[in-house]
Structure 1
Amino acid sequence: MSQEQSLVDTIRSQFRQNSTQLQVFNLLSDQQWHCRECEGKPIGSNQYAGGGGIQGLQRGTRSRPGLVIETNKQYCLTCQQIRLGDRWTGEIKSANSASTIPVSLVERILKVYSYTDVIEQRRREKHELIIDHRFPMERWGASEPPHLTSMSDDEIKVKFQLLKKDASGNHNLLKSRSCERCIKTGKRGKPFGIRFWYQGDENWPSIHQRGAEAEEGCIGCGWYDFEAWRNALNQKLAQFDQHN
């Protein structure tokens, strides 16, 4: 058995049987480009690109390394169109995984925010909310330290916000895609296409790209702190009204 095949078999054994991630890994394990439209969607149209698929493979877990996956557009012979696709390079990297939030802490976070998502400001059922880390996992550079159930309300507000995930949309997925583009291009996020930052501008301002020091570069982006972003934008609009 070759070293390459041994790595594939080792990684494959670390997935839950019949999981979406295992199916996506089996698809990408040949290290060839695969079209998301005609090959990804049949696996799991709602999970293929997200944490249950590509993103989850890239991040890894405490027991499994992350995978180096390239994503780009190419001509698909099956679709006969230019489509977005993915290719595993055969390389692995240090895991960049979220530590599990204890159930008791989950309940406290939801209560601190009154079960209300920060963007639409609607009170929701628990299953329609996602506890979002303000500082995105894509920039951690390592596994997240364990969450302490003793966190104060103020510490919770510094670290987390609530985003919605319901039949009409997944704001956490929108944020993840924006953060990925930011890492790739150095241009910070524009929530819903609105070009406003409450600190700095669209250019990534930090010399640090990953790790704890990189969090300073997120400050000012609406995806990092949507409430601060909205308040600053409203203040800007109020000042404009006063001068017109």
Structure 2
Amino acid sequence: MSKNNLVAKILSQFKSSTTQRKVFQLLSDKQWHCRSCEGKSIASEQYAGGGGIQGLQRGTKSRPGLVIVSKNAFCSQCQKTTRWDCWTGEIKQANAAVNIPHKLIQKILNFYSYTDIVEQRQRAAHELVIDHHFPMERWEKAEESLSVDMDEDEILKKFQILKKDASGNHNLLKSRACERCIKEGKRGTPFGIKFWYAGNELWEADYQRGEEAESGCVGCGWYDFDTWRKRLNKKLSKSENTK
């Protein structure tokens, strides 16, 4: 398939006037584009996230993911160093999450009592994000459909609840930590706390992506914040008792 035909095919897979379509149209020339001046003109809050760059990278069941590279560079228009993105023209296998059925969303929120796992506060549904323990950045393939009959053990194993409100977005903090881990091989340190309940700071799994890679996430606070906190408290308690 020619490059022009590929661009046309990808464009046809977006609904008209969506943010992702606009972002792809900008990047379809395969040149570098500044997020601050060009991205904000499209969607200042969604350009880099799931509605924009990240969503394009992940793809969907019907659309492949895009290979998009990023860098920091000086922008003559912004007159400062900013984040830039460029589509290489390549595609990859999608690794997107499916839409969670409404009935299952309610089941998950009820199971966790509408409480975010980090601050342990009950919140309105619109201030919460249902987060997969295993980050999408490492999936390597699109998620299969989710059953509304998922039991509590499955929910506990697969999901946790993070907050997303005016004061902060813990799901975004986790995504940034996972991106850094993939790039540098150093696992997350929630709020600067260097503790891992299994393993250490270094990524030690044999695989970087795919189902086998999940073992490398175990022990990281962002992977399972509840277990991480309990193990940290247990360690602190033992330390206090030995004094």
Could you say which TM-score interval applies, normalised by the shorter chain? over 0.9
Give aligned pairs, total: 243
Further displaced range: 12-21 or 211-220: 12-21
**Shift in Å at residue 115 of structure 1?**
0.6
Per-residue CA deviation, residues 199-228 of structure 1 (Å, 9 max, x unaligned), is: 111100101111111110000001100011
**Shift in Å at residue 81 of structure 1?**
2.2
Partner residue in 2 for 1:9: 8
Further displaced range: 93-102 or 109-118: 93-102
Partner residue in 2 for 1:237: 236
Look up the equivalent residue of 1:193 and give its one-letter code: G
**Shift in Å at residue 243 of structure 1?**
2.7
Whole-Å separation in 1 of the counterparts to 2:195 and 2:236: 11
For the pair 1:208 / 2:207, whether they are aligned, the reply is: yes
Look up the equivalent residue of 2:90 and give its one-letter code: E
**Shift in Å at residue 82 of structure 1?**
2.0
**Shift in Å at residue 80 of structure 1?**
2.6
Per-residue CA deviation, residues 172-220 of structure 1 (Å, 9 max, x unaligned), is: 1111111111111111111112111111111001011111111100000
Partner residue in 1 for 2:193: 194
Look up the equivalent residue of 2:217 and give its one-letter code: C
Segments of 5+ residues of structure 2 without an aligned counterpart are none
Partner residue in 1 for 2:135: 136
Look up the equivalent residue of 1:122 and give its one-letter code: R
Whole-Å separation in 2 of the counterparts to 1:187 and 1:16: 38
For the pair 1:27 / 2:26, whether they are aligned, the reply is: yes
Segments of 5+ residues of structure 1 without an aligned counterpart are none
Q: Secondary structure at the match of 1:219?
A: coil
Whole-Å separation in 2 of the counterparts to 1:5 and 1:77: 30
Using the size of structure 1 for normalisation, the TM-score is 0.96
Q: Secondary structure at the match of 2:122?
A: coil
Q: Secondary structure at the match of 2:237?
A: helix
Q: Secondary structure at the match of 2:42?
A: helix
Partner residue in 2 for 1:84: 83
Task: Give 1:38-117 correspondences, 5 Å limit.
Answer: 38-117=37-116
Further displaced range: 75-84 or 49-58: 75-84
Whole-Å separation in 1 of the counterparts to 2:169 and 2:88: 29
Partner residue in 1 for 2:121: 122
Look up the equivalent residue of 2:156 and give its one-letter code: K
Q: Secondary structure at the match of 2:5?
A: helix
Q: Structure 1's 41 and 193: CA in aligned 2 closer, same or farther, altered over 3 A?
A: farther
Whole-Å separation in 1 of the counterparts to 2:41 and 2:24: 14
**Shift in Å at residue 74 of structure 1?**
1.4
Q: Secondary structure at the match of 1:115?
A: coil
Look up the equivalent residue of 1:143 and give its one-letter code: A
Whole-Å separation in 1 of the counterparts to 2:54 and 2:189: 21
**Shift in Å at residue 11 of structure 1?**
0.8
Whole-Å separation in 1 of the counterparts to 2:169 and 2:38: 22
Whole-Å separation in 1 of the counterparts to 2:65 and 2:228: 32
**Shift in Å at residue 42 of structure 1?**
2.2
Whole-Å separation in 2 of the counterparts to 1:76 and 1:46: 20
**Shift in Å at residue 22 of structure 1?**
1.1
Partner residue in 2 for 1:169: 168
Look up the equivalent residue of 1:147 and give its one-letter code: L
Whole-Å separation in 1 of the counterparts to 2:15 and 2:180: 30
Q: Secondary structure at the match of 2:67?
A: strand
Whole-Å separation in 2 of the counterparts to 1:175 and 1:49: 15
Look up the equivalent residue of 1:72 and give its one-letter code: K
Whole-Å separation in 2 of the counterparts to 1:218 and 1:128: 26
Q: Secondary structure at the match of 1:233?
A: helix
Percent identity at matched positions? Answer: 62
**Shift in Å at residue 135 of structure 1?**
0.4
Whole-Å separation in 1 of the counterparts to 2:221 and 2:232: 10
Q: Secondary structure at the match of 2:149?
A: coil
Look up the equivalent residue of 1:100 and give its one-letter code: N
